Structure 1
Amino acid sequence: MDKLTFAQAMTELEEVVRKLEQGDVPLEEAIDLYKKGMEYSQFCNDKLQNAEQQLISIVGENGEKQPFNATNGEV
């Protein structure tokens, strides 16, 4: 799963959800789909948290990372 992009993982997750919502899959398959869906969900969540961490800090003029205040754009 490490080679997946965020968009690919979201597409896979949406497909899993679609299949589960149809409700016509056998119990064993539903359990497997649910497990896959949870893996895709965790993967996407990790990617989003990583992106958020990159966005909440910026590099100042002196080369040091500083927190970014998103409400007013000030450092």
Structure 2
Amino acid sequence: MSDEKLSYEQARTELASVVERLEQGGGTLEESLALWERGERLADICHRWLDGARERIEAARAARADG
């Protein structure tokens, strides 16, 4: 599945797994860097989902206030 098709929940779950693996350590520097980069991409996906949800809520509130 491409990153763009991940749901918020999928990205959040994978991000938690990445963080856990980084905290455990034991990998090579290259592996740690790859995990960090993956975590950054997943965090961006989560932020986009949350930003979109915030925009929808604000639009609904504005529509309700206008209505």
Whether TM exceeds 0.5 here: the answer is: yes
Q: CA deviation at 1:23?
A: 1.5
Give the match for residue 10 of structure 2.
8
Measure the CA separation in 2 of the matches of 1:43 and 1:2: 8
What is the TM-score when the length of structure 2 is the normalising length? Answer: 0.86
Measure the CA separation in 1 of the matches of 2:59 and 2:7: 23
**2:7 alignment partner AA:** T
Report percent identity of matched pairs.
33
More helix by share: 2
What is the TM-score when the length of structure 1 is the normalising length? Answer: 0.77
More strand by share: 1
Runs of 4+ aligned structure 1 residues displaced above 4 Å come to: none
Structure with bigger RCO (C-alpha 8 Å, 6+ apart): 2
Structure 1, gaps ≥5 residues long = 59-65, 69-73
